[in-house]
DNA sequence: ACTTTTTGTTAAAACTGTTAACATAATACA
DNA sequence: TGTATTATGTTAACAGTTTTAACAAAAAGT
């Protein structure tokens, strides 16, 4: 039951029905491909005639193409299969991280076209934009050139204003009110560019996932743990953005209001207990604050190293992981109580040790969730190989073509 | 950008456009009443002919009526004003609370028709349902009888399954898996009955508000503080329900994971710091746990008494309030970081002391919110006279007639 | 008395979904 | 081999909606 906003609504016009059904057809082809007209008619509970008209439009526009005939039928005329026409155009995804920046190119269905490439992140925004642009151009040249590029999706570890394309705050990059969109638009004038926060992008990657499309959840939370904690929330198939596009900052929920100091200035934030630095710090028996420079001995010691140590029998490493796991679970419990999602996705380096920490996480979740059902909320680990941030950046470009039209 | 759910979508049929525009027209009449056809055409950015057709349907169905002619125009034919036809039918709202149960009757626009009546809450479910039914019948008899009743909305301080109408858990009433809908359906066979959690109902009361309709926010959080803490979240004009209808349980976010014991079994929940009992307990210098029976001296001392004491110069009362205010603000900060709403509504007895506690609340909010904008999130106090829970119960009955149709 | 302005209605056009009939193409069966 | 059966896809007529244009109704200005 959604209230119609009397200050911002969309009337149904003569073509609105067509528009709605068109998007449904595209979504169904995307998820069920390959598919015949008759299949669509059955799925949509309508007549084949209507489908013929809808598909004719899409064929004329070149969005859909006819392919081989189906031959696994028992009797009757064989169906002609329909496919999305995703070959001609491409999307470029960019993931800016503290140390390196990654690029990926896909077709409009999100299928990867080239290997992921990367370069060391430069912190001066204008110079960074120039270098990034060169890499994008190189990548596109290897394919079909800029003319084939339908959009560039850029993901940033920080708060962004998606309307102006300004990076409001990205502590990991030292950026404050950086007009990233402005810099990039100079280089790619006629290409749509989208800037988004990485936590939100990870959530987008899961709703718009093409592989396991049929099992996709429409209410989900993506929690990504690395230097900080990024969270993206999807409700009813739509990303929760909030008034200032800052919704989803669960990383700074307190575990104890006068606990460990956090980068954000407050104390006892969840992030301060479960970030990679927090775990490493715990291993070295120190309370390394994010606010202070790292001691030498820890500077080259990564969370991957710590997991290796734990696997090779280092008890201190294992107990450091277990404590992080407990705090991780306590924070997840809060998210579950607050959102009641049908699925939680977990990303970040520490999830490679999921087999070591799952029991501790689940115990902590059960400890603080309010009902038994909530305590059993399913969790799926998203491994780094799936590139959730890059896939989210892709979705920024490719998803609008399949999204529900705004109506009422 | 909402993803179409390929497992649960709604195709546009021949009548879908009409359905959409119909709901828009109803919404606009509800918010702008009185209104002419020409006004509607301007607001909806369409032609008057289309409006004539739409209104003719609504006139035939008796949902809209024509009223007086407008005479405040400068020139030209005078407009005939349209009104919602809300007189014939009525809705009954029920608010079940720990000590008393309240009833209100309204027309289909939410206008109150009779004074609020109440009776002491009885904890035995079947007996309670019988008594409640008698009161509903008495109320309806004073009006036009049961035939005029379009629905009964019931609000409960606990978790509910809105599909089955079962109260899963209501600690304040000692109810566990009580089939409240079942009991009531026996008494009112042909009347639609809705059961909902009180925190969610409070949030509903604000989106579906008729008075300040034009200034209604479409992303809001309602926080209600009394024996416990109830929270309802509205995103994009729609109540956030979650998979098990338990979303919005922010009351059990931790302030300190090993802090004060809470009724829920965990420690350090926000609720344990800001509930009325917590504040009273603080005043008496004791850590009264919700889990233990109350000492005699406090049993008859209410939060209203405490506020009175504070106003009359009792320093201890004031500092108890101020500490609650600080904790209140710290919890609100978490909600703001998580949801980024455009408005927060605050209800409960303690808000009557808002002038005394606002500075402490705002300071605490600013202390833990991540950006300046978030720290300035507006807060509106909802006084008890506005009956937010009862108004939410009304919305359960009246709102569906104005809600956006499900499409795509 | 005539023009101008605004409101509301009506008739026809344009677009969309719906129904029913039909052509197409394959298999089953006698 | 020929006919019946079954499933796919198209076409034409029909029905429901929005849109356009023309017009009637009612009030005020000139």
A355-385 pLDDT tens trace: 999 999 999 999 999 999 999 999 999 999 9
Hey, is the C-beta of A20 within 8 angstroms of any chain B C-beta? yes
Cβ <8 Å between B242 and A339: yes
Give the three-state DSSP class for A169.
strand
Q: Give whole-number Cα distances, A10 to A313, A376, B21, B40, B57, in Å.
A: 62, 40, 9, 14, 20
The answer, yes or no, to whether residue B299 has pLDDT greater than 80, is no
In this complex, the residue of B169, B240, B368 whose CB is nearest that of residue A235 is B240
Between CA B42 and CA B401 the distance in angstroms is: 23
In this complex, the residue of A12, A236, A370 whose CB is nearest that of residue B249 is A370
Report B:30-49 residues touching A (Cβ under 8 A). Answer: 31-32, 44-46
The answer, yes or no, to whether residue A288 has pLDDT greater than 60, is no
The answer, yes or no, to whether residue B290 has pLDDT greater than 70, is no
Report, as an integer, the average pLDDT of B89-110: 95
Report, as an integer, the average pLDDT of B338-350: 97
Hey, is the C-beta of B253 within 8 angstroms of any chain A C-beta? yes
Of all residues in chain A, the percent with pLDDT exceeding 90 is 85
Q: How far is the CA of B44 from the C1' of C20 (A)?
A: 38
Six-digit token string for B200? 């969610």
Residues A285, A235 contacting (CB under 8 angstroms):
no
Residue of B nearest to A209 (CA): B3
Calculate how close chain B gets to A297, using CA atoms only, in Å: 31
What is the reported pLDDT for B300?
82
Nearest alpha carbon to residue A355 among A315, A384, A321, A331: A321
Residue lying closest to nucleotide C23, CA to C1'? A77
Residues 13-52/A with CB < 7 A to strand C? 14-15, 17-18, 20-21, 46-50
For residues A340 and B172, the model is more confident at A340
Encode pLDDT of A239-257 as tens digits.
999 999 999 999 999 999 9
What is the reported pLDDT for A295?
61
Between CA A397 and CA A108 the distance in angstroms is: 8
Residue of A nearest to B375 (CA): A244
- Looking up tokens 């001609």 gives A88
Round to the nearest angstrom and report the end-to-end CA distance of chain B: 12
Encode pLDDT of A133-164 as tens digits.
999 999 999 887 888 999 999 999 999 999 99
Encode pLDDT of B15-64 as tens digits.
999 999 999 999 999 999 899 999 999 999 999 999 999 999 999 999 99
Residue of B nearest to A259 (CA): B256
In chain B, what are the domains? 16-84 (1.10.10.10), 90-205+390-402 (3.30.420.40), 211-384 (3.30.420.40)
Between CA A12 and CA B17 the distance in angstroms is: 5
In this complex, the residue of B9, B244, B373 whose CB is nearest that of residue A340 is B244
In this complex, the residue of B4, B46, B218 whose CB is nearest that of residue A24 is B4
In this complex, the residue of A207, A250, A373 whose CB is nearest that of residue B3 is A207
Hey, is the C-beta of A2 within 8 angstroms of any chain B C-beta? yes
pTM summary value: 0.94
Six-digit token string for B196? 């909902």
Between CA A281 and CA A298 the distance in angstroms is: 8
Report, as an integer, the average pLDDT of B316-326: 96
What is the reported pLDDT for B35?
95
Give the three-state DSSP class for A152.
strand
Cβ <8 Å between B20 and A408: yes
Angle of helix B303-311 relative to helix B276-283, nearest 10 degrees, comes to: 50
What is the reported pLDDT for B285?
80
CB of B246 within 7 Å of some strand C atom:
no
Between CA A391 and CA A396 the distance in angstroms is: 9
Closest-lying nucleotide for A71 based on CA to C1': C26
Of all residues in chain B, the percent with pLDDT exceeding 70 is 96
Give the three-state DSSP class for A404.
strand
Report B:341-360 residues touching A (Cβ under 8 A). Answer: 341-342
Report A:307-326 residues touching B (Cβ under 8 A). Answer: none
For the CA atoms of A201, A207, A211, A212, the dihedral, rounded to the nearest 10 degrees, stands at 140
Residue of B nearest to A1 (CA): B403
CB of B80 within 7 Å of some strand C atom:
yes
Within 8 A of A341 by CB-CB distance, chain B residues are 242-243
What is the reported pLDDT for A370?
93
CB of A384 within 7 Å of some strand C atom:
no
Q: How far is the CA of A36 from the C1' of C20 (A)?
A: 22
List bases, strand D, within 7 Å of protein CB.
5-12, 15-22, 24-29
Encode pLDDT of B21-34 as tens digits.
999 999 999 999 89
Nearest alpha carbon to residue B219 among A374, A399, A8, A12: A8
The angle formed by the CA atoms of residues B313, B317 and B321, to the nearest 5 degrees, is 120
Six-digit token string for B129? 């349902």
């Amino acid at each position: 039951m959604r209230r119609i906003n009397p200050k911002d609504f969309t009337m149904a016009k003569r073509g609105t029905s067509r528009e709605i059904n068109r998007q449904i057809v595209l979504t169904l082809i995307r998820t069920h491909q390959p598919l015949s007209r008759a299949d669509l008619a059955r799925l949509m509970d309508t007549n084949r005639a209507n489908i013929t008209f809808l598909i004719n439009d899409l064929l004329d526009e070149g969005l859909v193409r006819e392919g081989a005939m189906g031959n696994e039928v028992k009797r009757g005329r064989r169906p002609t299969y329909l496919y999305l026409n995703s070959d001609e155009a491409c999307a470029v995804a960019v993931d800016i991280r503290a140390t390196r920046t990654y690029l990926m190119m896909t077709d409009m269905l999100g299928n990867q076209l080239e290997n992921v490439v990367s370069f060391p992140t430069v912190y001066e925004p204008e110079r960074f934009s120039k270098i990034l642009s060169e890499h994008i151009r190189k990548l596109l040249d290897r394919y079909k050139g800029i003319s084939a590029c339908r959009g560039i999706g850029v993901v940033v570890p920080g708060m962004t204003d998606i309307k102006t394309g300004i990076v409001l705050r990205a502590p990991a990059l030292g950026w404050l009110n950086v007009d990233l969109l402005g810099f990039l638009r100079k280089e790619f004038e006629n290409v749509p560019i989208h800037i988004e926060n990485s936590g939100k992008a990870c959530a987008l990657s899961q709703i718009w996932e093409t592989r396991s499309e049929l099992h996709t959840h429409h209410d989900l939370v993506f929690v990504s743990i690395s230097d900080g904690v990024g969270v993206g929330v999807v409700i009813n198939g739509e990303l929760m953005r909030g008034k200032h596009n800052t919704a989803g900052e669960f990383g700074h929920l307190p575990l104890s209001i006068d606990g460990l100091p956090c980068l954000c200035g407050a104390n006892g934030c969840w992030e301060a207990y479960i970030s990679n630095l927090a775990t490493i710090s715990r291993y070295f028996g120190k309370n390394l604050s994010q606010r202070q420079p790292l001691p030498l001995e820890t500077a080259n010691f990564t969370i991957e190293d710590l997991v290796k140590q734990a696997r090779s029998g280092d008890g201190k490493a294992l107990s450091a992981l277990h404590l992080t796991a407990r705090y991780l679970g306590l924070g997840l419990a809060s998210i579950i109580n607050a959102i009641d999602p049908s699925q939680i996705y977990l990303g970040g380096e520490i999830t490679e040790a999921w087999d070591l920490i799952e029991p501790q996480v689940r115990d902590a979740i059960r400890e603080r969730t309010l009902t038994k059902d909530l305590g059993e909320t399913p969790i799926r680990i998203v491994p780094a190989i799936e590139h959730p941030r890059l896939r989210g950046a892709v979705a920024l470009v490719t998803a609008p073509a399949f999204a529900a039209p705004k109506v009422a």
